A and B are shown apart, each in its own frame.
Chain A
């Protein structure tokens, strides 16, 4: 059994404008020592899904199951969940400055976190805090432990957040855009740190990011989300070199110099037209169809389920295109266009029929 197994997670929020359907039936899982990369644009539901696991999406209507070490996180009582959160599952957020309290010393904040979960003495917790600061690469931790957050740079603060997350030796670490606010050279330091610590401690990692470069580096398995659903699930190399879903293809083609964009900086990019839909009034059928260059009649009516893609181990895609049309090659592209063309006929020729 996997360390975390989420099935059919659905999260909706009632607002005065209507029901926001943030996550719509998403399943994923991760094992110890492995990394699941979750990619998607703003509003794809990637952060809401993670926050919901930790009981941090207040006021949401949640259904589905999330089995972690044999217990369903979604039905745990508040005090039980509080014992899991921080101790067994930890989280690192995007903005390290707003996640640290400006009035308390760094060391105090780490020690408090330890003492909230374990009966450690003040001095033992402080010693542990110093040790953790050293672990995440902060020079002279025995002196920096008494500094305030403002005395740390952005990268150093994110190291502190990671130290705090690792304080109780969690089995699962959820990192939500941990390097988005940081510069490239600092981002490289933090990613390097996360990989090193994961190797050392065997922690499972869920890495949430909009940055396909970060995911390409970190993930073993990739989950691509769009409008609250899983568009595609695949191992890392398959996701980047043999993608099936037009959204994944489109994301990759939007990146200058990527293989999907022709690997050449000379060509104009091929962006995905339009913008992500409102989660209150979702398009009919496949939520991506208004932006999809291959949209067929069927896509406007039926929402495609995640299906096994031909030739891929655990490669699944939620798209009606033939399951053997993968990758950015000319042949696959020609096939997609042919099928899309015939799928636009008024007669409901299904994509499967053509293959």
Chain B
């Protein structure tokens, strides 16, 4: 059970948001099935990528892991301890160990506070360093993330988007966490700045031995940073595999469609491939489809898919850590497999061991 190599285990996590209506007596009219039974484990020093489209539940899951939301059911086990039912007070020591980096570097920093005090907050909350010692540690952090320590007394508005994201990174790292949840950390940034932040996160991971859960919708960025990738659709993980396997040999039709839809900055590849265009939009999570949730849009769907929800399991022909929730997974000979062949030249890897 408690494998010392595993930092985080997510077990059958469910998060439903009730929809209430009524003026005096609030009656529950329905539930948004944001996350509906997700399980995986993240090993120490690993980066797990989490991809999926708007409304698939990836950010909700992140907030469940960090206990910003209470779970409807399921367990979150951090370093061998189930933190999903802990009270605020009991949770306090774990807050140091699990930190979060947010998407919006404008909305996640208080505009009226000085950068030094924003980055120093974690020290204040956990009563760690104070006075000149705190200032020194904040300035060290600023240096580590590539900010000028002399800008200690500036306000967030005086920094550009990329620099603000560095402030967010510094704040997340202040207490030397073990696990950092990055929720779309570069989506709001310009292309050239994205690369700066991605490199910074990789350097910090090496330096401090961090474990990342990296949420993003940009598939090429996720491939670049992740060791393993989980694909979510309507609150469920449909496929999880080492990055290279997932990108080179997707097994779930949704993964294949997602890969084929991603735009590639390479005209020849763009011209060569044939896209799978999924019909329609993602269904409402209030009333998710029966059976496999992807079946109404799936090019391979058959009668069984509408009835029986597929389990997330490994197929005999796949690599050991490659799990797929599909009754009729994509075969190499399918059009789906060809369409998804978007990646770079063969031999492109998830991430080189450093």
Contacts and interface: CB of A to CB of B under 8 A. Distances in A.
Answer yes or no: are A and B bound together in one complex: yes
Contacts of B80: none
B345 A263 contact: yes
B265 A183 contact: no
A237 B271 CA distance: 11
Nearest to B350: A265
Given A41-B190, A183-B54, A184-B219, A265 B196 contact: no
A265 B199 CA distance: 12
Interface stretch (A81-89, A251-259, A333-341): A251-259
Given A183-B54, A189-B277, A217 B270 contact: yes
Contacts of B221: 256
A240 B193 contact: no
A257 to B, nearest CB: 5
Contact of A264 (B260, B264, B344): B344
Interface stretch (A18-26, A60-68, A161-169, A272-280): A272-280
Contact of A275 (B193, B261, B270, B351): B193
Interface in A114-160: 153-156
A155 B196 CA distance: 31
B263 A185 contact: no
A268 interface: yes
| Residue of A185, A211, A267 contacting most chain B CB atoms (<10 Å) | A185
Contact of B192 (A185, A188, A251, A259): A251
Given A217-B270, A255-B220, A256-B223, A250 B263 contact: no
B275 interface: yes
Nearest to B200: A271
B263 A254 contact: no
A293 interface: no
Interface string B240-278: 000100000000000001101111111110100001011
Interface in B189-218: 190-196, 198-199, 202, 217
| Residue of B54, B261, B265 contacting most chain A CB atoms (<10 Å) | B265
Interface string A226-262: 0000000000110011000000001111111111000
Contacts, number: 141
B199 A271 contact: yes
Contact of B266 (A155, A187, A258, A271): A258
A206 interface: no
B198 A269 contact: yes
B265 A213 contact: yes
Contacts of B53: 183-186
B160 interface: yes
A254 B191 contact: yes
B281 A259 contact: no
A290 to B, nearest CB: 13
B192 A265 contact: no
| Residue of B162, B221, B223, B266 contacting most chain A CB atoms (<10 Å) | B266
B329 interface: no
A217 B275 CA distance: 12
A281 B267 CA distance: 36
| Residue of A210, A251, A257, A266 contacting most chain B CB atoms (<10 Å) | A257
A194 interface: no
A216 B265 contact: yes
A44 to B, nearest CB: 9
Interface in A271-318: 271-273, 275-276
A183 B224 CA distance: 19
| Residue of A215, A255, A259, A268 contacting most chain B CB atoms (<10 Å) | A255
A331 interface: no
Nearest to A254: B195
Contact of B281 (A153, A188, A241): A153
Contacts of B275: 188, 192
A-B complex: 10 closest residue pairs judged by Cβ atoms: A213-B263, A271-B195, A266-B352, A256-B224, A188-B261, A254-B195, A272-B192, A183-B53, A212-B265, A41-B190
Given A188-B261, A215-B265, 4 more contacts: A183-B217, A216-B267, A251-B192, A272-B192
17 contacts: A183-B54, A188-B275, A189-B278, A211-B191, A213-B262, A217-B270, A237-B268, A240-B267, A250-B192, A259-B266, A264-B347, A265-B223, A265-B351, A266-B352, A269-B195, A271-B194, A272-B192
